[in-house]
Structure 1
Amino acid sequence: MAVSRRQLIAAGGAAFGTLLAPRLAGGIFADAAPLAADTAPDLPAPAAHGDLAPLKWAPRNRAFLQRLIANYGIGSPHYNPAQKPYAVFDWDNTCIAGDCEETLMRYAATHFRFALSPQDFARAIALDVPARPLDPTLTTTTGKPVSLGDIQADLLADYTALAARSGPIPMDNPALLSLKSKLLFAYNAIDASYDADVSCRWIIRLFSGLSHEQLAALAKDSNLWHLGQGIRQDMWTTPAQRPGRAGLVACPALTALRLTPEIADLQATLRRCGIDVFVCSASLEDVVAVFATDPDFGYNLPRENILGVRMTWPGGKLGLEPAAGWPVTVKAGKVRALHAALADKRGYGPVLVCGDSSGDYAMMTAFADTRHALIVNRCLGGEIGQLSARAAAQIDDKHPRFLLQGRNENTGEWRPSERAIKLGEDTPRLLADKA
């Protein structure tokens, strides 16, 4: 079984249509009402002096961020509109609960909404993938080691069979079920076995051949569908009648995507108070922009302020090659992108950086000008676990560099605490068992 480092561990909850209502009923797998496509989420009326709506902020975090806005915004005697301060946000699992690109991959696979020819699909799933073996712990359902070459051959066979069909494909079609299981397995295996930039581009290339308009429509369809679903974790398993060369594999597929009104309100307040807001994401820039700039989803950010992975668009369609002169915006690549787009031009770094994972560690620590780094607490280990431990150690400080914000993964909603509740649990915790 393979699990991605970007695995969705955010949970469902109220779908941010009328600020935190309606609530789920019936436990963590209960259904949630969908967000209507023509209904923008209701945010509080603008408050004076850059006050943030209390919502479900940890009170201490809200106080520090209001102080930051007072010190750096238009109400400060030192504010210079020619040198506007700015804040940077990761997108997936920071501005939202969930990962909009991974959910898009699963949505497209479920409905077979791809545009590549079988020949181009074969190239897309092999391009830039190292020849090194996969992590040996990634096995079939019977414990057999898996070869990436075998997985790729099975994917091509399934894709070719499905592409040759006309009309809707039944959800129980063996080739479709096989494609879903092995596509998710391949993505998670590549993500776990190689450098992060490999999986970042691998997942994006699956959408090659789509025009800007087609990709935006597909992404919005996926967003709206997922926002209307309750949490559930399914197991995507290869059907016994279609083992292929690799054999049968199984991967957990978590359905979960939620909006975060606290972030939308924070971003609106920052902008209202003269502090620019930017997003720097490891997902395809165009996919994030569908979410971040659409007023239906409540964030309504300027398109030019969305930074992410960039690709070529030959003939107006998403290509297989990366855009020249732009880094893969993951880990240190986020810092390089922020320098290229903002810090080097303005001469200073962001006053606030918000993130949730080790992919954000570099940008949360790289800039001396950053007053606060807000960590959406998912109780993760690795580098973000180290930062979370520093934030926990600074909880009583009057001038903390790092802030922890709790979230309940069973609802996708924030908690008025630094402590988080993991999916399937009910006890709040401050840190991962092992940072």
Structure 2
Amino acid sequence: MRQLLAWTLAAAAVLAAAPAARPAAPVDGRAACPRLTTTWYGDNRAHLQQAIDQRGTCAGRPGRPRPVAVFDWDNTVVKNDVTDATLSWALRHDRLLRPARWTDISAWLTDAADRALTRACGPGAPGTPLPTSADAPCADEILQIRENATTMSGAAAFAGSWNHRRTVPQYAWVPQLFTGRTPADLAAYADAARREALAAPVGTTRRVGTHTLPAYVRYYDQQRDLVRTLRRAGFDVYIVSAGSEPITEVWSRGVGLDAAHTIAIRSVLDAHGRITPRTEGCGGVPATRGAVIPYIDGKRCFVNQEIYGVHGPAAWQRLPWRQRPAIAAGDADTDVAFVADATAVHLVINRNKPELMCRAYDDADGHWLVNPMFLEPLPRRGTAYPCATTAYTAPDGTAGPVLRDDGSVVPDQRDTVY
């Protein structure tokens, strides 16, 4: 029953303890901190409000730097993936351009994937639109590689060596598919996809090729309220996403954040301002075909580099306390490094991702908050997370135990918030 009764009673207790309409009283003449107004699981709202009261400029710390809050985007601030929604729209409107060779796009694309894409998408002049709206096999191969890193026949789509805590080829592949378009083109596609996805009823799906994809996206009311409240309390709020930056920028405006506060995969442009397969690097790593993106340790690097101005190898490391976000939020293992770096609240939206949930349920510092997805939450995981054995992914891709900062092993954890 997803603990529905317990959730309802707990939420009611929190609301009773912190009425939405009652402003906080000024303390020693200082401005009152703004209040969160939406319902959260358990006492999560009370913990978030406490962090706002303690860290916001409303708490009266003249001359000190503004505190920082950093959010992942897809399935953290919104339900569903906005880059996938844009790719779906682009496939249905023939907006992808044919490459000269598919292997020109990704450094890791296999010969099997190259053959599958060439066969499915047919011949044609480079730079002309792929007929994906009518050519179901072409759309299918593209989506299968994006979703599963395999071809429709089951062959591996990517092979070779990459740092599994800095990138994942099928994430980098999506902006690479828009090679030849401009960021303005991609933003226009994202805007059209956004209007379509917000208008679609919650829970609806659509068929693209033979794939069934979510047809809707929704901003989470709780996260919109949290971002708005944080900004009013004096926080600098940022998005850090493993999606494409022009797409994420279109969506982040819906919570009041501008391009300067939106960090995602940044494509290198050619001399004519068109997207290339190369992506900007971080931490002293130059631009490559996707070797570094905002993914696991890559997210930490981009937060440290773009928000705190730390460049070179130091950007890959956990920074001192004053150079870390006060609040960080995510939903997947790709978020675990920067969420763990937060000093006041590590907010986790439960999507059953093992390393993140191991750290959240272990709650080593007492500041981890777990919340079910606000729409269509997942059922309880039937078995414990394998924290002590295989929940951690090493840079070489091998699985191992999740370790605390002191080197001790996190024991297996049961799923309790769903």
Scaled by the length of structure 1, what TM-score is found? 0.67
Q: Residue 251 of structure 2 is aligned with which of 286, 291, 297?
A: 291
CA–CA separation in structure 2 for the residues paired with 1:268 and 1:409: 20
Structure 1 position 311 matched with structure 2 position 277: no
Cα deviation for residue 330 of structure 1 reads 0.6
Question: Which of 46, 67, 72 does residue 85 from structure 1 map onto?
Answer: 67
Displacement of 1:377 after TM fit?
1.7
Q: Contact 1:94/1:356 (CA < 8 Å) preserved in 2?
A: yes
Residue in structure 2 matching 1:328, options 282, 293, 311:
293
What letter corresponds to residue 341 of structure 1 in structure 2? E
In the alignment, which residue of structure 2 is the partner of 1:180? Answer: 139
Contact 1:96–1:260 (CA<8 Å) still a contact in 2?
Answer: yes
Asked if 1:128 is matched to 2:128, the reply is no
Q: Which residue of 1 aligns with 2:394?
A: none
Matches within 5 A, 1:80-229: 80-114=62-96, 116=97, 118-120=98-100, 122-125=102-105, 127-131=106-110, 147-157=112-122, 163=128, 173=134, 175=135, 177-190=136-149, 195=164, 196-229=167-200
Aligned residues: 327
Aligned positions of 1:417-432 closer than 5 A: 421-422=377-378, 429=380, 431=381
Q: Matched residue of 1:304: which SS?
A: helix
Distance 1:316 1:56, change over 3 A: same
Q: TM-score with structure 2 length normalisation?
A: 0.70
Partner letter of residue 74 of structure 1?
Answer: T
Identity between Structure 1 and Structure 2 (%): 21
Aligned-partner SS, 1:292: helix
Hey, what does 1:390 align to over in structure 2?
A: 362
CA distance in 2, matches of 1:355, 1:59: 18
Aligned-residue RMSD, C-alpha: 3.1
1:321 counterpart SS class? strand
Aligned to 1:29: none
Post-superposition shift, 1:264? Answer: 1.5
Deviations 1:317-361 (A, max 9, x none): 222212254741111101111111234559510011100001101
Aligned 8 A contact 1:236 1:252 in 2:
yes
Superposed displacement of residue 97, structure 1: 0.7
Give the secondary-structure state (helix, strand or coil) at the position aligned to 2:59: coil
Q: Could you tell me which residue of structure 2 aligns to residue 337 of structure 1? A: 302
CA 189–150 in structure 1, closer or farther in 2 if over 3 Å, else same: farther
Amino acid at match of 2:146: Y
Which blocks of at least 5 consecutive residues in structure 1 are unaligned?
1-43, 134-146, 238-249, 411-420, 423-427
- Please give the alpha-carbon distance, in whole angstroms, between the structure 2 residues aligned to 1:96 and 1:158: 38
Match of 1:372 in 2: 345
Q: Is the alpha carbon distance of 1:59 and 1:50 closer, same or farther for their aligned partners in structure 2, counting shifts above 3 Å?
A: farther
- CA drift of 1:208 comes to 1.9
Equivalent residue in structure 2 for 1:54, among 31, 34, 37: 37
The alignment status of 1:268 with 2:251, answered yes or no, reads: no
Q: Distance in 1 between matches of 2:71 and 2:129?
A: 42
2:59 pairs with 1:73:
no
Are residues 313 and 170 of structure 1, via their aligned partners in 2, closer, same or farther at CA, if it must alter by over 3 Å?
closer
Distance 1:59 1:159, change over 3 A: farther
Task: Tell me, yes or no, if the aligned pair for 1:91 and 1:279 is still in contact at 8 Å.
Answer: yes
Contact 1:121 1:156 in 2 (8 A): no
Aligned partner of 1:348 among 309, 314, 323: 323
Task: Report how far residue 234 of structure 1 moved.
Answer: 4.6
